[in-house]
Chains A and B, each alone.
Chain A
Amino acid sequence: MVEAKDLGKKYGERWIFRNLSFALEPGDCLIVTGHNGAGKSTLLKLLSGLERPSAGTLTTTISDYRTELSYCALEQATFATLTVTEHLELAAKLRGMVSDIPTLIQECGLFEHKDVQSQFLSSGLKSRLRIALAIQTDPKILLWDEPGVALDGAGKALIERVIKQQKQRGILVIATNDPDERRFGTHELELV
């Protein structure tokens, strides 16, 4: 469960948004829309715990953020000199879990690139690596910022598959303005 009450965030004296309240249950998919700078990514960062709210409260039922919450965003960089497999091995060890990495790599269409260092991956393949890292734990809460950016047709099919799986498993929050992705939502929140 995720519950936000009167949530607000400001940088300096400028409020990005304020008085946001919503509650999400497993099976819910919240689509966050809004113009550039409206605070879509900021809201996802608050939900992920990467940033703290300036006002209001945020409650979740997760007990371990490493395994139960995943955040996937284009601005997340990968380690330039680590390969795809090394990224997933590192994340699994840090999360204290056993992961079927070969299957995950196959699922995300990264098999041919599994031994390639991240600095030599295209932006689309880096996005797939970020998706693999995000779904590695079968998270209860998945936060996804602009899923379709930089992905080709096969990548979009992967997004669709992941979204469907996540809706069966837990909560999904997507920040997007793409009508193709908005259709997956069960709720919509427009930031103005």
Chain B
Amino acid sequence: MNSSWSSWKSEIVAVLKKEWQSESRSMSGIMTTALICFVSVIIVNSITWTTTINAMIGAGLYWMILVFAASVSLPRTFLQEEENRTADFWRLVARPEAVYWGKALFNIVQMLVATLIVSILFVIMVKVEVRNYLIFALTGLSGAISIASTATIAGAIASTASNRYVLSAAMSVPLLVFVVNLGITGTAWSFGEILTSGEKTPIAMFAYSIATCLIGPVVYSKIWKS
């Protein structure tokens, strides 16, 4: 058996392809995420229509929508496998790291799409002025990856528990607080709020994403057949 990089790549792509095939035929995750993003921005728009909101509150609302959308859709990739009794398929034919990476990549793509939708709608519909589009985009990009990797690791760890949905949500909160704080700082800075090192938050968020992406497969392989 070829255990080289090309073998790993082929296995990860196979998991990613399967996730895409399943999702494109049911559209449940994508539709749920898009709907939540859209409705959340509409609500924020309707309650702030008559007022101009400051940069910090604007950034807070933006991140609240992102986290809300992510927490509903992302952990499903692992939790659903247990619920549909398909988890044993993976355990019998795959390596845990390949399954984790395939699913994490799918979540990252899904979250990037959600972030793009939210960002465009937010800029158009909510009365906030983006002063630095580069930092706004980088914060959104790094934030999407951080949220997706965090939600993936929480979903993976909670997947074998009997109360998996509650546990997954409970685990995501403390892990996401750090990301959200950084994200709010970076986004507020891009909206014009004067904050120390606000422009450097995307770097910290990228570092956090890399850490969670590296730790995730190791943790998942430990609980793989527990």
A52 interface residue (CB < 8 Å to B): yes
Contacts of A94 in B (CB 8 A): 11, 14-15, 90, 93-95, 98
Contacts of A71 in B (CB 8 A): 88, 92
Interface residues of B (CB under 8 A from A): 1-3, 7, 10-11, 13-15, 17-18, 21-22, 25-26, 84-86, 88-95, 98, 225-226
| With A94-B15, A96-B7: A81-B92 Cβ-Cβ less than 8 Å | no
Q: How far is the CA of A95 from the CA of B98 in the complex (A)?
A: 11
Instruction: Give the segment of A15-23, A72-80, A101-109 that binds chain B.
Output: A72-80
Q: Which of A66, A86, A96 contacts B92 (CB 8 A)?
A: A66
A90 interface residue (CB < 8 Å to B): yes
Tell me the minimal C-beta distance from B14 to chain A in angstroms: 4
Tell me the minimal C-beta distance from A178 to chain B in angstroms: 23
Contacts of A77 in B (CB 8 A): 84-86, 89
Among A84-105, those with CB < 8 Å from B are: 86, 89-91, 93-97
Tell me the minimal C-beta distance from A69 to chain B in angstroms: 8
When C-beta atoms are compared, the residue in chain B nearest to A91 turns out to be B93
Contact A96 B1 (CB under 8 A): yes
Contact A64 B1 (CB under 8 A): yes
How many A residues touch B, CB cutoff 8 Å? Answer: 31
When C-beta atoms are compared, the residue in chain B nearest to A65 turns out to be B92
Q: How far is the CA of A133 from the CA of B93 in the complex (A)?
A: 9
When C-beta atoms are compared, the residue in chain A nearest to B94 turns out to be A94
Contact B94 A81 (CB under 8 A): no
Contact A76 B84 (CB under 8 A): no
| With A50-B225, A90-B14: A80-B84 Cβ-Cβ less than 8 Å | yes
* Contact mask for chain A residues 29-58; partner B; CB cutoff 8 A; 1 contact, 0 none: 000000000000000000011111000000
Contact B85 A76 (CB under 8 A): yes
28 A-B pairs with C-beta separation under 8 A:
A49-B225, A50-B91, A50-B225, A64-B1, A66-B92, A66-B93, A76-B85, A78-B86, A78-B89, A79-B18, A79-B22, A79-B89, A80-B22, A82-B18, A82-B22, A86-B21, A89-B14, A90-B17, A91-B93, A93-B10, A93-B14, A94-B11, A94-B93, A96-B7, A96-B11, A97-B1, A133-B89, A133-B93
Contacts of A96 in B (CB 8 A): 1-3, 7, 10-11
Tell me the minimal C-beta distance from A49 to chain B in angstroms: 6
Tell me the minimal C-beta distance from A92 to chain B in angstroms: 9
Q: Which 9 A-B pairs have the closest CB atoms?
A: A93-B14, A77-B85, A81-B25, A94-B94, A94-B93, A91-B93, A81-B22, A96-B1, A77-B86
Contacts of A117 in B (CB 8 A): 25
Contact A50 B25 (CB under 8 A): no
Contacts of B84 in A (CB 8 A): 77, 79-80
